[in-house]
Structure 1
Amino acid sequence: MQVQHLLDTNEARLKAVIEATPECIKIVAPDGTVQFMNKAGLCMVDATEAQTVEGCCVFDIIAAEHRDRWIENHNRVCNGESLNWEFDLISLNGTRRHMETHAVPMPNGDGTFSQLAVTRDVTERKRSEQTLKRHDIILRGQKYALEQAVHGKPIKEVLETLVKTVEDQSDGSLMASILLIDPEGRRMLHGASPSLPAGYNEAVNGVEIGPAVGSCGTAAFRGEEITVQNIADDPLWADYKELALSHGLRACWSIPILSSQQRPIATFALYYSIEQTPAPEDREAVELLARTAGIVIEWYREIAERKELMAQLETRVSERTNELNNVNAALQSSNDTLEQFAHVASHDLKEPVRKIKIFTSRLEDETGHLLNERGKTYLHKIQSSAERMSTMIEGVLNYSVQNGAPKINEKIDLNIIIEEIRNDLEVVIQQKHAVVNAGPLPVIEGDRILIHQLFYNLLNNSLKFTTEQERPVITIEATPVLQHEDASYNILITDNGIGFDQQQSEKIFDTFTRLNSKDKYDGTGLGLALCKKIVQRHHGTIMASSENGKGATFSLILPVVQPASADLQPV
């Protein structure tokens, strides 16, 4: 009696332990009949009491895709092996659970074995593992796509990486697609859809977007998500369902891909061969990768726009270069002609000047004793003017021979230059009763002929543009200035002539510019333009200020010493 009592006690304790265990403990006969299942197991299969499952075949609640393997392992256990494996079951309420089991053979007393198994629900663990795996696939795909973009791979390859990433992370059977919206926002263009039939891709390429153009065309038109569970019956696919159904496509979900300005620039879609809506995990993956696709598409479009702009600029630069080359060739030809003309003209001018000098010298020798003091003065002025003319002609000849870029750099006393110009303009000064006042002027470096021409033009200008009511007064003065540690002088030439509108102060230095009637004031319009060129050649500046009827002031800033690193600039 004591032994039986002890056995009953131990059996009760064992049953209590089995019933309290959170894992499923079950005994399955060789034919698959459930002989025993504890409370935890009954909960896992959604059974309310043991009678619901005991005596039933366990094979019926094993998921179809796992059933054959489960039966094979069960037979091996019933033949004496101990095994571990995982499988999915479908509970009595239709809930799918992922299970992990450890099974050992249990003797039946007649030489056969049943399966004794401890099974736990690892659905949450499996779901977490799958989520981590999905996220890893998405992150790796996203990283690889961005690397492709950075390395300049074609946009089609980058978008295909994103599309394949969505397909790879999914547990279901789906086909992903990216369609681009053309820059005008009117048509859908093929982007990437490697898993869709080629015929379908070709047919939808170039389709106009609109309010009922399948899932993608409508999503692009509305700028919102479009879900079509059954293409055959949905009005959005009325014009395109035959195309989709003929290629085995039964459902489609699409969202717009937005730019940084929240404007649709493409669509990201999922296609299915059966009627369904996308799983939450697939939607999440597409929504994440759609943002990446938006960045990539916008970036590539900016690059394309920049390349197009650069191509246009290169074309324009090339055209301008050709134009400049043609102009330079024309200028070179013109310069050659001008050089030849200057050489011939200078040579031809030297002969009459030479004769003037010879005959004035003879006149002085032969009749000088007959002339009074005024006559001798006139004769001397003729000789001085002829001598300066000869010097200037010789300078022009040298200038032309040296191709317009002589390297003449000598000390020039501006006081002497002004005095020479006074003599040259003596007749005009006397006729107009003009007064030319010149203060102490500096000695500067430069080309004597050009500097003489500069001041001659400016003084002649002041004498030319005078009023009849007022005696012309011209003042020349110099003030030292310091610019960039190089000594310079600001030379002011002021007159009381007719002046000009200050708004024309820049225009007067343009070639062939005349502000006054040529009938009243003669000239070519080249004088001040030449002055500006001469000043620039000597690394200086020239400005003019005036007011109508109140005279004009010309300000010349000229360096005392020409820069050692630069020759005089050609005029």
Structure 2
Amino acid sequence: MEKNNTILVATGASLDVAGLELALAQHQYRVESVTNGAHALQVAAAGGVALVLLDVTQAGSAELELTGQLAHAEPGRRIPVVLMSSRPSQEEQQRAGRAGADGYFSLPLATTSVVDNVLLAVQGRRIGGYELEVNYHMMAAASPDAVVLLDMDSGRPVDLNHRAEQLLGRSALELLAMPLADICDPAELAAMMERVHAGELAVHRISFRHSSGRVVECEVRGVRINRPDRRLFHIRLVDVTGTQRAQALRIGQEQLLEMMARGAPLQETLLALVQLVESQSEGVLCSVILLDEDGMHMHCACCPSLPPAYSALLEGMAIGPGVGSCGTAMHRREAVLVSDIQRDPLWAPYLELIKDFDLRACWSMPIMQDEHTVLGSFAMYYRTVRRPDAEEQRLIGVASHLASIAIERARREAELLRHRTHLEDLVDARTAELSRAMQQAELSNEELQAALENLSMTQEELVRRDKLAALGALVAGVAHELNTPIGNSLVTASTLADHTAVLARQLEAGIRRSELETYVGQAREAGDILQRNLQRAASLVASFKQIAVDTTDAQRRSFDLEPLLFELLTPLWASLPQPRPRLVMDIAPGLAMDSYPGPLSQALGHLVDNCMTHAFGTQPGAEPTVTISAHAEGSEVLLAVADNGAGIAPDHIRRIFDPFFTTRLGAGQSGLGLYITHNIVTGVLAGHIDVASTPGFGSTFTLHLPMTAPR
């Protein structure tokens, strides 16, 4: 045994000192552990220390000055010092080098790896017996990735870091003792090395076998290290198994959603879901349990990997607070994670029933439609005792959510089918009911048709009678109006004839001048009477002719409404006899129209004449006033003639635009003015006319005229 055979460990962190003692004893080294720097200096100064493992938290200030003190604690000899850090960083590693450290690695580290670091620093070799530079080992220990240094001649690793041990599930002793090709595809490894030798810088994909048997997909980068005495190959490994599984999960989710969208059967969708989840985790056996509509009993919907006898046990079982993982999860409406079935009280009543199925762990997540409605449960079984990690908990959450979508869609489709069937029954019943109602309606229709025909005949008879009555009134009025001037003309003409006969006799006997002058005066007076009465008769006939409005001679032009109305109404009002009503003009300026000013003036004249004839009597009251207003409304002009006179009786309103209707028939009125106005407004001017009246408070006639009359 060498004189300097003590490995001094100075750390306040948890380190497997007992395991380290046992491992180093095989190499004739003893371990002494201290917890502070002062004690470490005392032990180092006493002599016999081969190497110091110093925790950076015990190494003094930021300059790690205890490193140098320990290295020179024994006079005449330098003691190697290797720093250990639970929070390694590039900056700290550089400070360790400046402080004189012989090595630097990160904690936690497996005992075998610690032994490797000790032997490397003390003897300059690994357990495998290869001499390497200390700098490479320090670099590998601080690397965030798994790193392996491969001897190309033997095919075995000569150095590796702790992350490589974790990635491959094997200790450094195991890995250093076997060719790397034993745990991967030799052809893939050889192809990568060949490409690197050819100068290709690329990422290669190689599958490694974990000690548990699972496949670890890695992205590998390799660099050849040129040394005169050995062919070495630096390999960096990055585990992409999780990335691949995440991508497979995403693709599987998309495929499941597509199956749901195209209406795939529920059993087919759930089977695809279970197979997807089972591909994401090693050794998992999945099941989907549905809760019956009674909300109490379970039904095994999809359990392809579980023993059929176990699935049969679940069929029809009632859920509850202590019914295994699935029954409890559905009862509680929350996830139930049982890591050891043999020791969990939820499974105690069923251990005898499931003893032959070798199920050791079961994680169950309820499948929820909403926060109150449970559809079933999604379970993940394992044949080993284990708890889920964060990724597995996320996976079971995703699975239960997808199952919820599939089950809810299937139930909605079943409900729609029931509704569709019920709707068809309702349609059939309603169709039969409608057929009966149609038959009754046809009978009623025939009766209504007969009644309508009788009503039409009655209406036609009433219209005919109304027309005859109106015609009779018209004839009476026309006869009365024409009778006066014609009668006066006849009397005057017969009187003139008598005077002419007397004059003829006087001429035979000799006529005096005075008699002739008398006759001439009588003849002149008779001529005047005849002219006035015939002129009156001609005027009546002309008004009758205006019933049919002839627009062939109407002149269309663009004009401003305001000056047109002032030109029309100013002389018209001045010609009225006193006392005449007050005229109020409220005409918006700039009302440009493209229409027929002549017919418009004629219609307005009839309205004013109607107002003067019917609105104002001799009864006392407010000052008689006629208001003419006009303003634009959209593409129309609203022209109104209003008075504050007697108004129109309600039973007369509906007839005022009828031809020959007048309340003053026989008093010089023919009842054609408003009818002619109506024809002009609705025909020539392409508008319409409204009337509003309150007896005793006046009337308002409103013309709705387009600014541009149709051509």
TM-score normalised by structure 1 residue count: 0.44
